[in-house]
Amino acid sequence: MTPVLDPVDDPTLVPFLEQAVRLASANVTEDGQLPFAALVVRDGRVVATGVNTALRDDDLTAHAEVVAVREAARALGTMDLSGAVVVANCEPCPQCRSTAALAGIATIAFPVDREAAVAAGFVLPPPAARLQDLLREQVPEGLRYVPMAGADAPFDAWSRGPAAG
């Protein structure tokens, strides 16, 4: 059984969550890519952004959170991103959560949980879903589920067809 995420109310994250949702929507409507985007935020400012380019690049590791963490490390000149937060438009998969943890990022915030992504047609392979469940259960403090109106816009755009808007 999938552990349930408890929603939190954190107004300081809302502008960043909104930016992630806009980037994810544009990734679909403008670039025909998957509806995922992420930011790395430190000290109240965006250090880097990333969008999922797995389709374009034929690269299963080209997830938005991985790209954003990679770009933040380059921008800051260090792989230690302690004190930063990943802000994504959707709950991270195990790969993305692990990448953030390896960079010293303890928190990932998002407005859409995995269940909503599954409802939109994004289903993790069973081994990855089990890993995600384990991470939810064993390390729930690293997840900040901040539901907000309009957060499903990237998935709505995807359902209309990539690059169709």
Quick check: 25 and 53 in contact, CB under 8 A?
no
| DSSP-assigned states of every residue in 34-93 | -S-EEEEEETTEEEEEEE--HHHHT-TT--HHHHHHHHHHHHHT-S--TT-EEEESSPPP
Q: How many CB atoms lie within 10 A of CB 112?
A: 28
Quick check: 105 and 82 in contact, CB under 8 A?
yes
Q: Which of 30, 65, 137, 141 is catalytic?
A: 65
Residue 18 among the catalytic residues: no
CA–CA distance, 13 with 16 (Å, rounded to integer): 5
Catalytic positions, written as ranges: 65
